[in-house]
Structures are given as C-alpha cells and as structure tokens.
Amino acid sequence: MRFIRRLPVFFLCLFLFAGYADSKDVVLKTLVVNPSKTKTQSALLKAYLPKEAKPGDIKELGDLKIDYDIEKSLYYVYKMFELGPGESESREITIDDIWVIPAETIDALNTLALEYVKVLRDSEFYDSAAETQRDIEEKSRQILLKQQEAMDAQPQTHIAVYRENMKELEKMRDMLAKMEKNAGKAGSVSAGGAGGSFVSAERISVKASWWLILGVIVFLGFMSLVFFVVWHKQVGESERGGEKEITKPVSGEKESGQAEKQEKE
C-alpha cells in the first residue's frame, strides 16, 4: 500500500492518504511525530478531513475523536499523545467512498435534456435545445469516463476528479435550467423528477396570478356593495310601513271625536 504525504497540519502531525480498504471505502492515515531526540513531549494529532466528509460517512475512527472547525467549515480528528524522543503514533480513518457521482444522476439529466428537446421541437428554441442536449450528452460521457479511470487511482486523485466532475455537473444543471426557461416561454411546464415524466400545462405567470387575485377582491367588494344596497332598501321600506300602521289609528280617533261633537250640537 502506497502512502502519499501532504504538508503537515501541525509540525508534529502528518496527514496521509493511505488508499482503499475495499472498493467502497477510502482509508486516510494520520501520523504524529516527536522531533526531539532528547525530550518526551505531549503531541497533538490533528488532521482535517476532506470538505465533503461528514461524521455519518466515517466507518472506522478507532480511538480518535472528531470535532468541527467553525472558521474553516471542516471536520477534523484529534488525539493527544505522550511521545518519547523520536517516537511516533499513527491512526487510520476509514470513510465511505462518497466521491462518486451515481450513474443514475447522470442518466436522469440526459433524459431530462431529451424531453426538453421534444417539448421545444416546434418552437424557435429547438436548434438551441438540440445543441445543448448534445453538449450535456458529451459532458456526461466525459464525467463517467474520468470517474471510472480515477477509481483505481490514489485517493487524493480520486477526490480531485470528483470535484472537477461536480463542477461539470453544475454546468449541466445550469444548461437544463435555461432549457426549462425556454420551455416556459414556449408554453410548456418543465419535466418532473429523475424518471423524466412530463406534465404539460399552461404556465401561469406571477403577474397573471396577481391580476386574478385582484379580480376576485374587486368582485367580492362589488357583491358586498349590492348586498348593502338591498339590505338598506328593505330596512327603509320596513320603517315606512310601520309609520303608516301607527298613523291610521290616530286619524280614526280624530274622526270619532268630531262625530261625537256634532251629535252634542
């Protein structure tokens, strides 16, 4: 098994890429050394993990502890040792190989690009979409090829290739986002998930949605006004009817009084 040295994290601590425990694991090795030839010293073994690695990805840590550096946004392993003159201690960390882009992810993006081409076939964006689809297909082929070649390389090469491929993957996603935008302009909604299924429908713009909401509010306001006018009219008619009923008995009493007065005369 070959070891490749990196610059020491501390002057007493080295971080080495050890290799692969099996096809799905990456082994990282840390080494701390007491450089003194005469003194026993306390030495801190501290090594930062690759930025993609999280505690859940670690399969074997041994007697090391793990912590998080807020300033560097990285996890690291550490342990204190008492080392005699010239002594050293080493530890290994086994990590699940998370530096692989699943082929299913690549295939899903290719399928999505093909579906967009179909949607845009009769639009002004078709030529651009077809060219973008071919570009995505070529990038996909290169990613898978580089990834396969790096599977047997040293871990640092394997991780570096993964990071380069992730940059290409982000470019592919940006290209698909542009295709989706053009599909929206052409009057179609974008495709769904990894299966490439599509839902065809009219895209309602944000502006149109606000106009719809405003229309509903105006309609409700108009109906409220109508109800108020009808209610007010009914109340008015009811009050006038009540006044007539009260007035009739009064006039009757006056007529009766006049009749009695005439009889006396």
> 61 and 127 in one domain?
no
> 88 and 12 in one domain?
yes
Residue 23: its pLDDT value, please?
A: 54
> 124 and 143 in one domain?
yes
The answer to whether position 56 is within a domain reads yes
Residue 216: its pLDDT value, please?
A: 80
Name all contacts of 143-148 with Cβ < 8 Å and 24+ positions apart. 143/101, 143/106, 143/168, 143/169, 144/103, 144/106, 147/100, 147/101
> 74 and 116 in one domain?
no
Distance (Å) of CA 99 to CA 5, 20, 85, 93: 20, 13, 39, 16
Question: Residue 178 belongs to what domain range?
Answer: 103-185
The tokens describing 191, both together, are 């495709």
The burial of 39, by beta-carbon neighbours within 10 Å (0-12 exposed, 13-18 middle, 19 or more buried), is given as exposed
> 122 and 175 in one domain?
yes
The answer to whether position 248 is within a domain reads no
Residue 197: its pLDDT value, please?
A: 40
The answer to whether position 199 is within a domain reads no
Q: Which residue has the tokens 């005469």?
A: 38
Q: Tell me which of 96, 112, 144 is where a domain ends.
A: 96
Q: ∠ CA 33-38-44 to the nearest 5 degrees? A: 30
* Domain total in the chain: 3
Residue 215: its pLDDT value, please?
A: 80
Question: What is the C-alpha to C-alpha distance for residues 128 and 140, in angstroms, rounded to an integer?
Answer: 18
> 173 and 108 in one domain?
yes
The answer to whether position 26 is within a domain reads yes
Question: What is the C-alpha to C-alpha distance for residues 131 and 129, in angstroms, rounded to an integer?
Answer: 5
**Amino acid identity of 15?**
F
> 175 and 209 in one domain?
no
Residue 212: its pLDDT value, please?
A: 75
> 87 and 12 in one domain?
yes
> 10 and 70 in one domain?
yes
> 117 and 90 in one domain?
no
> How many Cβ atoms from other residues are within 10 Å of residue 79's Cβ?
17
Residue 184: its pLDDT value, please?
A: 87
Q: What CATH number is associated with residue 27? A: 2.60.40
The answer to whether position 58 is within a domain reads yes
Residue 229: its pLDDT value, please?
A: 79
> 21 and 63 in one domain?
yes
Distance (Å) of CA 96 to CA 50, 59, 100: 12, 6, 10
Residue 257: its pLDDT value, please?
A: 52
10-residue mean pLDDT series, the chain (265 residues) = 35 45 74 90 92 94 95 95 92 93 95 93 92 96 94 88 96 94 72 41 53 80 80 71 54 50 51
Q: Which residues contact 2 (CB under 8 A, 6 or more apart)?
A: 19, 154
Residue 204: its pLDDT value, please?
A: 43
Distance (Å) of CA 236 to CA 181, 240, 241: 59, 6, 9
The answer to whether position 230 is within a domain reads yes
